[in-house]
Structure formats: structure tokens, C-alpha cells
Amino acid sequence: MSTPIPVTEETFSQAGKVLAVHLSYSSRAAQRGRTPQFPSYFMKASSSLAVSGSTVERPAGTELLAFEGEIALIIGTEARRVSVEDAWSYVGSITASNDLGVHDMKYADKGSNIRSKSGDGYTPMGPAALDASTIDPSKLRVQTWVNGQIAQDADTSELLFSFAQIIADLSQQMTLYPGDVILTGTPAGSTVFFPGDVVEVEVTDLISGATTGKLKTTAVQGTEEFAAFGNQPKVLEKDKEDAYGDRAAAGLEPKLTGKDALTAEVREQLAAVATATLSGTMRKLGLNNVNIEVPGATKGMQRVIGTAATLRYIPNREDLFKSHGGGYNVQKQAIDAVKEGEILVMEARGETGAATLGDILALRTQQLGAAAIISDGGVRDLDAVSNLDIPVFYNGAHPAVLGRKHVAWDRDITVACGGVSVQPGDVIVADSDGIVVIPPAMVAQVAAAALATEENDEFIFEMVKRGHGIEGLFPMNAEWKAKFTAWKEAGKPELDSWQL
């Protein structure tokens, strides 16, 4: 175990750049509702670096100053195009850091984080650094306290991307120089803090017990307003949710998911109405483009109700297929991630010149309890797929494999399938008559209104069967409405025997 090295302002003198990872801990990714395939980054000004014991200003007119306890890597040796296997040897030391930001200014720079993350003192580090050569980077713990109460506690076993992968990835495009700082992301628990609050962050080597000590930062209230010649603070709902960690902590209404919306009552109502009725109901409520257009259905009129999981294919390009198409690619990841009751919706741009899945992947989707598969591309092994229990809706059959036309690119995002936008968690009702996409926030309203329409149409249909003319009945005038109401109040007896 090496002796911790004090982190002073001299430590920062060589920091040409500060690089930060957006999402790297699984707990944080779960909060955000998305899991990236690869790491992504932003930059902070080196002038934001500060030592332990410093203060950080919450600018006047802002309210969303948030902490993020992190492990900082300080580069020790110049690194350019290094391998993942060798990458850790280029790190000189590690320390505790706090990736502070004021989310009221996040909107202003379209993702660059310049004003939200690069304020003076917004990257405190220390109070001590540990020699990286003595450390196993997979055996580190990061903890954060606010006013003495634990707020974050995680270890590097939950990293989505190893520190070595992050270093190697960054070195592909830029030279990492001695003194450069990499902030490696924060686990769940990051939230807003206030003037007078004290935030402490500590990193511990789980093998030796060596520690960086507690990095201490105190928030103070700024008095200088933002000048009128620049962007002013603005609290957006999404930024508030991000700053606090989730909607509940931010005091916002919970975001309704399809699984929440699909109560037993709503599911029963949806099962009782035709997709045509659902489509018409959606149109009355102002949503016209909700019908996925694909002609094939392996299970005929079998009704399917579920929530969307999404997968997007892009047009094949040989170099991209080489880097993304083989092995355990996004297509296979998406299928393995499908949960019970979900409907896997694939965006294939309407391209039917290659398959988007075959019998093996369809079987795996069935085994995981998926309700259905919808693709606006082709399906191969159609006979075998049709013999599976899982309903598959498709745009055509084709014997060619994926790579002829497609590269599986990303998942759990908004996709376009059969001419319709579909978001993860949307409620989908499908049969060979049609496929209807319903936003979760509207599904209870749509189900109830569609059921009322269905009862109305059932009554009219039976009256026409009895020989009644259309005039005054379709739509119903006051006289027919009174008869319809009487039928419902009588408990909706069999219409073929009910006396008008």
C-alpha cells in the first residue's frame, strides 16, 4: 500500500483538459432509463478544478446545484491510441472528485455542459491521491455524504465500462497528457444541495483499505445576477428531474409507464374492443398517426396487448456492420433484454430485402415471455416462426440474413415502425386487423371511451340485423339514444331477445 499523496493546486497545474463520462454506473443508468452501448463524454474547463475545503457558488437566480461523487483518474504518462489491455498503466494516480453542476444552465449549450459544469470550483478533487500502480481499478469504492448523511455508496463492480476501456477509447482521438483528468461518472444518489450544505466524497481501495480522505466542499449563495447579454437561468422539467435524480425527488408527477397504465381493468377493456374502434377513439382524441402498417400476422386475429420495447436497424454499410454487426450485437442484446409482457418493435425502414429476425431469435423472445414481435422489415424461417406460440407481425418474408440490408444499431429509444413513432413503454394492441399504439398517459381514457363506442356499435349492429333502417340509428337520434340507455340500464341483456 502506497502513501497517499496530497492534492494541491500544484497537482492541477498540468491539467490541460478535464474529460467526464456521461453514464458509467448501472445504478445511474437505471435512474435515467437508458443503458448506453458505449461511453460518451463531455469536457469541463481546467479552471473548474479546486482543492478540498473550497467553496462552490450557487449562482444568483439558480436553484439546481447538484453534486456527483466520482473517482478521478490523473494521467501519468502520455497516451495515444493505447489498447484496453495496456490503458491502466498510463494512469498516474486516482483521487476523489465532485462533478458539480448547475442544471438551470444546462439548456443553454445543447449538451456541451460548458456553463452548467465549468464554473469556478465546480471540479474539486482530493484531499489525497493514491498511486494507480498499486490499485486494482475494479476494487474501488466511492461514497458521498451531505451534511454527514450518506447519499452515494457504490463500488466499481457496477461499472458499465471499465476505466481501461474509457482511457483507451478517449486515446483513439486525442492524446492524453500527464496531468489530464478523467472523471469516471457517478452512481445513483446524486441530487441537489443548497447554500450552507457540506458535501464530502471519499474513494477507498477495497483491497488495501487505503483512502483518499474526505473531499469537502461547501455551497455558498452567489449574489451576482447573470448579465442580460447572455442566457438566463431556466428550470426545465427534464433538467430538474436529472438534477434531483428522479421525478419523485424533484417533486414532479410520476411518469406513467405502460406497465403502470395497463391495470387489469384497462387490459380487460382493451381486450373487448376492436382495433378499429381504438383507432377511431384515438382520432377523436387528436392522435391520427397511431396505426403501424405491416401486412403479415402469424396468428391471425389473435389479440395481443403489451408494452413496447424497441430496436432500430440502420441501412447496412460494410464498415459499420464489421464493427457492430457480429457477435453479441445490439439485436441480440435487445432480444435478451425483453421482459414478460413486452412487445418487441423493430424499425427496419420498411426494407423487406433482408430478414430482421428468424426462428431462433423469435423462440428466445417467446421464452422470455414477450407478448409479440412487430417488424416493418422481413422475417426469415417464416414457416418455423409461424409455428411458434408468439405472434409475429411482419412486412414480408425473405431468406437473406440481417447483414444484407441492415445493421442493428440501438435499442430502448423512440423508433419509427410501419410509419408510426413508437416509444419504449407505449401500450400496443394488435391483431391482423391492425396495430394501434397508445401513449401510456392516454390508455385509460382511450380504453374506457373505446368500450363505450363498442357498446354503442354493438347495439346499432343488432338493430340493423332486426331490419331497422340506418336513418336516425347510425348515428343515433334522441329516440334511439333513449332506447340504447334503457338497454344498458337493464343490464345489457341479449339483444336478439330484448324487447324495444
Question: Across the strands, what pairs with 93?
Answer: 74, 131
- Average pLDDT value for residue range 449-471: 83
CATH of 288-438, one of 3.40.630.30, 3.40.50.720, 3.50.30.40, 3.40.720.10: 3.50.30.40
Largest CA-CA distance found in the chain, in angstroms, rounded? 96
Q: What is the pLDDT of residue 500?
A: 65
Q: And the C-alpha cell for 320?
A: 459499420
d(CA 446, CA 238): 26
Range of weakest confidence among 101-115, 173-187, 409-423: 101-115
Sequence-distant (6+) residues with CB within 8 A of 316 are 354, 403, 404, 405, 406, 407
Residue 494, pLDDT above cutoff 80: no
317 is in an annotated binding site: no
User: Does 402 belong to an annotated binding site?
Assistant: no
> 213 labelled as ligand-binding?
no
pLDDT of residue 257: 75
- 451 and 273 in contact (C-beta within 8 Å)? yes
Write the single-letter amino acid at 324. H
Q: Which residue has the higher pLDDT, 21 or 499?
A: 21
Mean pLDDT of 235-240: 89
Amino acid sitting at position 54: S
Q: Given phi > 0 = left and psi -120 to 50 = alpha, else beta, which region is 34?
A: beta
Which residues pair with residue 19 across a beta bridge? Answer: 43, 182
In the chain, % helix, strand, coil (3-state, to 5) comes to: 30, 30, 45
The answer to the question of whether 381 is labelled as a binding residue is yes
Cα 203 from chain centre: 28
Closest by CA position to 499, among listed 489, 482, 487:
487
| pLDDT tops 80 at residue 490 | no
Q: Is 61 known as a binding-site position? A: no
Whether pLDDT at 496 is above 80: no
The reply to whether CATH 2.40.50.140 applies to domain 5-244 is no
Rounded CA-CA distance 431/422 in Å is 17
Are residues 170 and 182 in contact, defined by beta-carbon separation less than 8 angstroms? Answer: yes
Highest mean pLDDT among 64-73, 221-230, 400-409: 64-73
Listed in sequence order, the residues at least 6 apart from 98 whose beta carbon sits closer than 8 Å to its beta carbon are: 67, 68, 69, 70, 123, 124, 125, 144, 199, 201, 215, 217
Residue 284 predicted with pLDDT over 90: no
Whole-number average pLDDT of the chain:
91
Alpha-carbon distance 168 to 292, whole Å?
42
- Whether residue 485 has pLDDT greater than 90: no
Tell whether 287 is in a known binding site: no
Residue 353: the pLDDT is: 93
Binned at pLDDT 50, 70 and 90, residue 499 comes out as low
Task: Give 1's pLDDT tier (boundaries 50, 70, 90).
Answer: low
Mean pLDDT of 43-52: 95
Average confidence (pLDDT) over 114-124: 94
Q: Which three cell numbers stand for residue 349?
A: 425502414
CA angle 42, 48, 49 (to 5 degrees): 105
Which helix (H) or strand (E) segment is 102 a member of? strand 101-102
Residue 225 to residue 60: CA distance in whole angstroms: 5
Higher pLDDT, 312 or 454: 312
Instruction: Report the percent of the chain where pLDDT is more than 90.
Output: 70
Grid cell at residue 346? 423493430
CA distance 69 to 54: 15
Query: Residue 258 — very low, low, confident or very high, per pLDDT cuts 50/70/90?
Result: confident
pLDDT confidence band for 227 (50 / 70 / 90): very high
Judged on CB neighbours under 10 Å (0-12, 13-18, 19+), 173 is exposed
- % of the chain with per-residue pLDDT over 70: 98
C-alpha cell read off for 147: 451534511
Burial class, 74, CB count within 10 angstroms (exposed 0-12 / middle 13-18 / buried 19+): buried
Q: 292: helix, coil or strand?
A: coil
Distance CA 122, CA 144 (A): 16
Residue 111's pLDDT band (cuts 50, 70, 90):
confident
Round to whole Å and give the CA distance between 273 and 270. 6
What is the residue type of 198? Answer: V
Rounded to an integer, the average pLDDT of 172-185 is 96
Q: Using alpha carbons, select from 176, 175, 164 the residue that is nearest to residue 75.
A: 176
pLDDT mean over 65-93: 97
